[in-house]
Structure 1
Amino acid sequence: MNSPPQHTQITPAPLMRSEEIPPGVQEVILPSGERALAYSTGPAVSPPPLPVPVPTVSQPIPAWAKTTALLAPTIGGGIAVAAVGLSAAAPGLTAVSHALWSAVAAIAAGGIAAAVVIGRVRARITAAQRPHITQHITATGLFGRANGTINHR
């Protein structure tokens, strides 16, 4: 009689030790879980080297950084002092600006008044000196010749 097939457990054969594996051959694990030796088609893949710790050495601070660090509070302080000075001087600045506007208005009004006075004086002077010219023109007939006189007084 035929007996049912018996399943026997396959024990994996011991593979070669890692030092016995020739170059270009690698130990791989197949999808079934079996280990096998395979040829490598590319360069041998080695694990990435461990990073070497870099000793921390203090580096000198650049000159531009020192200059900027020293100028920052100085500039900020100058701006703060200027703001305080302007706030203290604000009432005086307002008064000065009103006085300047008044001066500008007075100068403009004086200029206009001077222009009007000069114009009137000039008109009187030129009216007295202007000659009075009269013309008397006569002509006889429709196509006749015209005769005339000009008098300067």
Structure 2
Amino acid sequence: METPYEITTLTRTDHPHPPAPAEHMPLGPAEIPPGVQVVMLPDGRRTLAYTQPTTAATPPPASAQPIPAWARTAALLAPTVGGGITAAGIGISYAAPGVIAMTDALWAAVALLATGCGGAALLLTRWRRRTPTHITQNITASGVFSRANGTINH
């Protein structure tokens, strides 16, 4: 049995002959717990040892993966938005002459309203009766160097 792990141990030099490999395993293959394997030591002995789990090669990706919902929504909305922008552009191009005529009419209405308000204000000021303003002033003083008091009446 060949293992992919290289196990190195310190060999003893005080024995002239290494021990003979044991043919008898203490446990049967079904009794070996997970994470434990039979390994061959450098001196030829087989023993049980804990080993690192081997990482399996990454499986190939699935052939067909579902399309994410956001991508499907964006793909469906793209032609709809483009068509809406196109329709709006065509509508504006058809409506442009009418919009220009409406703005001209609105400017004419504003000019008429401003002229009418200005004329009405001018006529109201001319038609209003003007009465002359009469001012009465009373000043009194009791001496040459005294303070003068006065009142003004409109």
TM-score by length of 1: 0.49
| TM score, norm. by length of structure 2 | 0.49
Structure of higher RCO (CA pairs closer than 8 Å, 6+ residues apart): 2
